[in-house]
Amino acid sequence: MPGIDECLLEAMTLPGARGAAIVDWTSGLALGSVGDPPGGDHEATAAETAEVARSAAEYQAFAPKDDPLDTARGDTDRKGLPVEDLMVTTRTGFHLIRFVETTFDSSVFLYLWLDRHTGNLALARIRLRDLSERLVLV
Amino acid sequence: MRITASAISPMLMRLAAEQATGALLRDQGTLYLVDGRIVHAESPAAPGIDVLLTAGGALPPQGWQEALSLAGTRHEVGRHLVDSGRVTAGELEMCHIGALFDAAFFVLGPASGPTRFRYGVAHWLGRVRPVAAETVERETRRRRALLDRVWPCPELDTSPVVPRPPAPGQTLTGRQVALLRLADGVRTPTAIAWALGRPTFHTLIEVRRLAAAGLVEPPRTKGPAPPVFPAPLTEDNPEPDIALLRRVRDALEASL
């Protein structure tokens, strides 16, 4: 049952991790941040990543009201968020956004910035999912 | 400490510098400080952490009441909620920071009355995740600018939300649908925030975004009604005022 800081510090132990944050994507507020920000500062980075996350979480292409694949599988109990994570690959790094599902009404994601050469994207993705679940697990 | 030319509250900056502990009281709410850092904020304009946590149903209201009565006097309600397994530390921190910045946005809002500070006053929630006063002030300023950047119409914040039908091909997001379902032409964004258990600022920004997209009606202005222009005269006007035209002609001929 980690808090925000424990969660972020654990994310920073991943190989190639350069910076991490927990961000609210409606307001663009960084609820917590550690390491280096890829942009000017943590607050500006939070506001910018929030805009990307909001687009993905809200547009129908990614979050359709009736997912035909859900219906095909007979999966009527659609728990969980429609979008789980986002990856942006740049020349020098990986940017990972993992949406966090909470029991209260929120719009929060975990953000991790990795070095492109030393980072392990697959491992980071799995660990971030794990962290996002433990953050809200009683 | 970074010196800003236009501090929203010079008194808050002074209290932060002297590492004061107590409650900063303003007309729109209260900021609670411990050693100069903000530990909690409350405002009648923003749903409290109790509303945010219980609205979703995961924490029943009686669970909240129990924590309040058992740990309220010790100022350890937050810790009690986590220790008793009702809320995780992560969720409490996320919800608490959301509520803190939301209430602070209104406490530090413009048009405040007198500001007072009561030394030594502590909040029943206890220490969850203190934030630097400077950070709260900076975020409040950023939020004000953000609202105006989305759609510069402050009247939207206090007017009832009136939905407009989407244009063909225009789609609404899940969170927008939830908000507009409560927009009955009477509820203001603040009332909707309470009903949803969502921070008020989140509702304000969403309503501004909806207004920018043409999905809510612009608020009716309280100023004078716009002037009503007469219909322009057209050449095929069926009944020209012959008598008036004659009088104009006569007057022109007389003056020439």
Tell me the domain boundaries of chain B. Answer: 10-149, 154-212
Buried b (16+ CB within 10 A) or exposed e, A17-29: bbbbbbbbbbbbb
Beta-strand relationship, B29-34 and B37-42 = antiparallel
* Local confidence band at A28 (pLDDT 50, 70, 90 cut-offs): very high
Compute the residue count for chain A. 138
- Starting at the edge strand found earlier in the chain, the sheet holding A108-115 runs A29-35, A17-24, A108-115, A93-100, A85-89
pLDDT band at B57 (very low <50, low <70, confident <90, very high): confident
Q: Is B229 exposed, middle or buried (0-12, 13-18, 19+ CB in 10 A)?
A: exposed
Mutate: best of B93, B137, B207, partner A, most A CBs <10 A: B93
Q: Which of A55, A58, A27 is nearest to A43 (CA)?
A: A27
Q: What is the mean pLDDT of residues B194-204?
A: 96
Of residues B82, B171, B201, nearest to A27 (C-beta): B201
For chain A, give every domain's residue range: 4-64+79-134
B205 closest CB neighbour out of A26, A106, A137: A26
What was the pLDDT predicted at B234?
55
Q: Which residues of A touch B144 (CB under 8 A)?
A: none
Best mutation target, A23, A104, A131, A133, to test chain B (most B CBs within 10 A): A104
pLDDT in tens, B94-152: 999 999 999 999 999 886 678 999 999 999 999 899 999 999 999 999 999 999 999 99
Beta-ladder partners of A110: A22, A98
Measured CA to CA, the distance from residue A45 to residue A19 in angstroms comes to: 11
B163 Cβ contact partners less than 8 Å away, ≥ 6 residues apart: B180, B183, B215, B216, B217
SS3 A20: strand
Model pLDDT for residues A58-115, shown as the tens digit of each residue: 887 887 766 555 555 554 444 567 899 999 999 999 999 999 999 898 999 999 999 9
- CA-based nearest residue in chain B for residue A23: B94
Note the pLDDT of residue B8. Answer: 82
Which segment of B26-30, B46-50, B178-182, B218-222 scores lowest on mean pLDDT? B218-222
* Residue that wins the pLDDT comparison between A9 and A62: A9
**Residue A134: C-alpha distances to residues A9, A113, B72 (Å):** 14, 20, 28
Q: How far is A86 from chain B (nearest CA, A)?
A: 18
| pLDDT tens digits for range B154-167 | 999 999 999 999 99
Bridge pairing between strands A108-115 and B22-26: unpaired
Q: Residues 6 or more apart from B136 whose CB is under 8 A from it?
A: B31, B38, B41, B100, B101, B104, B108
Phi first, then psi: what are they for A89, rounded to 5°?
-105, 125
Q: Report how far residue A13's alpha carbon sits from residue A1's, in angstroms, rounded to the nearest whole number.
A: 18
Q: SS3 of B117, please? A: strand
Architecture of the domain defined by A4-64+79-134: 2-Layer Sandwich (3.30)
**Per-residue pLDDT for B50 more than 70?**
yes
Average per-residue pLDDT for chain B = 88
Distance CA B256, CA B115 (A): 73
Q: Give B9: exposed, middle or buried? Use CB within 10 Å, 0-12, 13-18, 19+.
A: buried
Distance CA B135, CA B31 (A): 14
Q: Which phi and psi (to 5°) does residue A86 adopt? A: -135, 145
Question: What does B65-116 look like in DSSP terms, one character per residue?
Answer: HHHHHHHTTTT-HHHHHHHTTSS-HHHHHHHHHHHHHHHHHHHT-SS----E
